[in-house]
Amino acid sequence: MNKLISWTSVFLASLFAMQSYGAGTGAGTSISNTASVSYEVGGATITANSDPVTITVQELINVTIISQDSGNVSVSSPETGAELKFQVTNTGNGNEAFIINQVNIGGDEFDVTPSTIYLDDGDGVYEPGTDDVAYDNSAPSTIAPDASITIWVTSDIPDSLNNNDTSEVQVSALSKTFSDDSQTNPDAGDVVSGAGDSSTDAVYGSAAANADDTAIFVVSAIQVTIVKAISSITDQFGTSQPVPGAEVVYTLTVTVTGTGDAESVTATDPLPNELLLKDGVAGIITVDGVDLTAVSGDDIATYDANTNTVTVVLGTVTAGSADSIISFTTEIQ
Amino acid sequence: MNKVKQLINKSMVAALLSVASLTAFAQVELKTEMYKVIEVQKDNGTSKIEWVTPDNITPGDKVGYRIMVENKGDKAADDIVLNNPVPENTIYVNGSARGANSSIVFSVDQGKTFATPEKLFIEKNGKKLPATAKDYSNVRWVLTSSLKVGEQSSVQYVVQVK
């Protein structure tokens, strides 16, 4: 069954690829065609051309908007400014700006109050008000053909919700050209004359007519967070330069807030190639002040030399209990 | 010196006259029309292809070219060969070239050589691969019968805007 599904998706993917032209030929491009003929009369060869026929490629407005959250997004009740991540891609052949709309989908346990939309600064990290600026729906920035932006759509979550209550949110993108023409729900094939790039007509594409995606908030009475920090750097010269051979001590802090128990909590830290656990599988991983061996199977702490990953299985953690502090020493290669 | 110039001028006039007289004998006129090729859904669930006035062409659209050839001269024209490069920013739609009483050949080298599809190859990463429709740079119709005085014929093909 799994195999059948994967084959089907491969087939669909290839169909889609056949019909996809990326941004395609730019709006305003002329396509000219001249036919020629050669023929013989009485042994003489004569040639002639047709008059050229020319078409100008019009602006096809197309856009996709795709949720970037994997699975449901956990929120508290209440919570201010809970964020959903979306990618908006201009799949048309001209420059276009898009208005982002957020609506509640019915049939679930609660509705959210739409709040600010932020434009990611390019690092994919949510930094409202600092690196990420508010997305201005009254004057959205133009996106070039084939270019993408990442946006953070934020919502306020109401008070007094139950654990596992869900709210489905739909986020859509509308062409500014069509919005400016008072067309708020255009169909594929609808046109705004002369409003495209290079004074072409703006033609609404089928992707634009279906440019929406949904994401689901789920109320989770329990929240697990992990924070990684460098505790110290010690080099072989007695100073603290991060040079090859220096030892870097990392601390992971796992915090469980809310109410109830978080089950099967596991902290995983895949180290970069430039860092290895000191002494490898013979090394030490300290959990809440107790030194544990890095070798697999004898305790909750493990270092896998093949994947260069530190794993600590914390198991069931009750919300509000003391933070779990994991620390280990690495060597810069 | 002046005489030489006069001679050259005279010979050029003569050359021009001879071309004019030839075209007067068998003037084959060529006219290209273009259409938007659309698929129209019918009530019974099937669809049919229609050629309509080309408005609002955008990437992915299909454009059909119909090339009309007419003998407006006073002599039959033989060995008629129609040529059409596939326009820039478009790709030839496989199997779309038509033409009565003609053999249709294609080029993958900007019109230097022509052959039927199964005899066309391209080189990719040092390998010889069978050419596909998107590789075609030119379409050629070789008419198998001559065009008599006053006679008309037409050929056609379809491209897709990239």
A322 and A199 within one domain = no
Query: How many residue contacts between A and B have a Cβ separation below 8 Å?
Result: 120
- Strand positions, DSSP E, chain B: 28-41, 47-52, 62-71, 78-85, 90-92, 98-99, 102-107, 121-124, 127-130, 138-143, 152-161
Residues B93, B160 contacting (CB under 8 angstroms): yes
Q: Do A97 and A173 share a structural domain?
A: yes
Boundaries of domain holding A296: 222-332
Q: Is the pLDDT of residue A10 over 70?
A: no
State which residue of chain A sits closest to B24, comparing Cα positions: A41
Considering the domain architecture, whether residues A161 and A240 belong to the same structural domain is answered as: no
Average pLDDT over residues A170-177: 97
Closest CA to A157 of A72, A223, A219: A219
What is the Cα–Cα distance from B80 to B65, expressed in whole angstroms?
18
Q: Are residues A232 and A323 in the same domain?
A: yes
Q: Which of A196, A219, A242 is the last residue of a domain?
A: A219
Q: Is residue A39 part of a domain?
A: no
Which residues of A fall within a CB distance of 8 Å from B26? 39, 41, 46
User: Distance between CA atoms of A281 and A292, rounded to whole angstroms?
Assistant: 11
pLDDT confidence of residue A254: 94
- The confidence score (pLDDT) of residue A221 equals 79
Nearest to A36 among B77, B83, B90 (CB): B83
User: Is B87 within 8 Å of A19 when comparing Cβ atoms?
Assistant: no
SS3 content of chain A, % helix, strand, coil (to 5): 10, 50, 40
Q: Between B31, B60, B76, which is nearest A24 by CB?
A: B60
Q: What residue of A is the nearest CA neighbor of B70?
A: A37
Asked if the C-beta of B11 comes within 8 angstroms of chain A's C-beta atoms, the answer is: no
Q: Does A67 share its domain with A215?
A: yes
Q: Does A88 share its domain with A195?
A: yes
Instruction: Give domain limits for chain B.
Output: 26-161
Same-domain check for residues A70 and A205:
yes
Instruction: Say whether B80 and A38 touch across the interface (CB within 8 A).
Output: yes
Which of B56, B82, B146, B153 should one mutate to test binding to chain A, selecting the residue with the greatest count of A CBs within 10 A? B56
Lowest mean pLDDT among A54-58, A176-180, A223-227: A223-227
Q: How far is A181 from chain B (nearest CA, A)?
A: 18
- CATH number where A286 lies: 2.60.40.2110
Domains in chain A, number: 2
Residues from chain B contacting residue A29 (CB–CB below 8 Å): 89
From A45-59, A84-98, B20-34, the region with the lowest mean pLDDT: B20-34
The verdict on A89 and A141 lying in the same domain is yes
Q: Answer yes or no: are the C-beta atoms of A130 and A198 closer than 8 Å.
A: no
Measured CA to CA, the distance from residue A90 to residue A266 in angstroms comes to 39
Spatial separation of the C-alpha atoms in residues A221 and B1, rounded to whole Å: 106
SS3 A318: strand
Instruction: Evaluate if residue A2 carries a pLDDT over 80.
Output: no
Contacts of B126 (CB under 8 A, 6+ apart): none
Question: How many contiguous H segments (helices) and E segments (strands) does chain B have?
Answer: 1, 11
Q: Tell me whether residue A172 is in a domain.
A: yes
Contacts of B21 in chain A (CB under 8 A): none
- Tens of pLDDT along B90-144? 999 999 999 989 999 999 999 999 999 999 999 999 999 999 999 999 999 999 9
Please compute the mean of the pLDDT values over residues A305-321 and round it to a whole number. Answer: 93
**CA atoms within 13 Å, Cβ hemisphere of A288:** 10
The number of beta carbons lying within 10 Å of the beta carbon of residue A198 is 13
Q: Which of A219, A251, A273 is the last residue of a domain?
A: A219
Q: Is A105 in the same domain as A227? A: no
Q: Does residue A78 have a cis peptide bond before it, meaning omega lies within 30 degrees of 0?
A: yes
A7 falls within a domain? no
Residue numbers of B between 58 and 97 with CB closer than 8 Å to A: 58-60, 63, 65, 67, 69, 73, 75-85, 87-90
Q: In which band, very low, low, confident or very high, does the pLDDT at A43 lie, cut at 50, 70 and 90?
A: confident
Instruction: Single out the residue in A200, A219, A238 at which a domain terminates.
Output: A219
Residue A34 domain-assigned (yes or no): no
With 50 as the cut, is the pLDDT of residue A19 above it? no
Q: Looking at the structure, do residues A88 and A210 belong to the same domain, yes or no?
A: yes
Residue B124: CB partners within 8 Å, gap ≥ 6? Answer: none
Cβ atoms A101, A129 nearer than 8 A = no
B33 to chain A, any CB pair closer than 8 A? The answer is: yes
Q: Could you identify the residue written with the tokens 């042994």?
A: A43
Evaluate whether residue A187 is within a structural domain: yes
In this structure, is residue A27 part of a structural domain? no
pLDDT at A17 over 70: no
Note whether A235 and A212 are same-domain residues: no
pLDDT in tens, B6-36: 544 544 444 444 444 444 455 899 999 999 9
User: CB of B17 within 8 Å of any CB in chain A?
Assistant: no
- Which residue of B lies nearest to A40 if distances are taken between CA atoms? B78
Q: Which CATH number fits domain B26-161: 2.30.110, 2.60.40, 2.40.50, 3.40.1000?
A: 2.60.40
Q: Which amino acid, one-letter code, is at A223?
A: Q
Task: Return the H-helix or E-strand segment holding A228.
Answer: strand A222-234
Q: Over 70: is that where the pLDDT of A36 sits?
A: yes
Which of A31, A201, A205 comes nearest B90 by C-beta? A31
pLDDT band at A225 (very low <50, low <70, confident <90, very high): confident
Q: What is the longest distance spanned by two Cα atoms in chain B?
A: 81
ipTM of this predicted structure: 0.80
In a domain, A50, yes or no: no
Work out the percent of chain A whose per-residue pLDDT is above 90: 80
Instruction: State the DSSP code for A295.
Output: S
Q: Are A185 and A223 in contact (CB under 8 A)?
A: no
Nearest Cβ partner for B162 among A21, A34, A38: A21
Looking at the structure, tell me whether residues A197 and A227 fall in a common domain. Answer: no
